[in-house]
Structure 1
């Protein structure tokens, strides 16, 4: 059985977004456990997946979507596809 990842409440994560729904985050791939942390006003996401062929990006989007209660397709990486520092946009779902 998989342990539930350490995730802050969705409204705390959404509070970090700008008016366009963008959130800056720092990703740590190949971590011991999946987690989302808010530290010094920055969102940090840890995923257990290795950063090859976009696998870590997919894991980040999946984890963030689950934490926010939105579909994976509503989250896009705006900047930082191959970097640890990323900018993602969360589309508002109706």
Structure 2
């Protein structure tokens, strides 16, 4: 998928300002994909002390073309299933 296609697919996965994401840490490479309407993020980072979550935020922000500070973790700090909130657009 092209980056614009990924962005559109991620945008479509938002429910209001919330985005559910399935994370796979310790993967072979960093990647953001959308499978059957569900956002999946793989990161090479180990899941300790929030390192993997920080990398997930970086990847999602880059894919969406927004600042990292515009995404906030709402649920799932230590889980593979996470929910992020996007800051309100001005």
TM-score, normalised with respect to structure 2: 0.90
Give the helix-richer structure, 1 or 2: 2
Structure 1: gaps spanning 5 or more residues: 1-5
Q: Distance in 1 between matches of 2:6 and 2:39?
A: 12
Moved over 3 A (4+): none
Q: What whole-Å deviation, never above 9, does each CA across 1:22-61 have from its counterpart, x for those lacking one?
A: 0111000010000111112211000010001100000000
Give SS of 2:69's match: helix
* 2:11 paired residue among 14, 17, 20: 14
Matched-pair contact (CA < 8 Å) for 1:24–1:86: yes
Number of equivalenced pairs: 88
The answer to whether residue 72 in structure 2 is matched with residue 70 in structure 1 is: no
1:9 CA displacement: 2.5
TM-score, normalised with respect to structure 1: 0.86
Match of 2:26 in 1: 30
Give the root-mean-square deviation of aligned CA atoms.
Answer: 1.5
Q: Distance in 2 between matches of 1:58 and 1:80?
A: 13
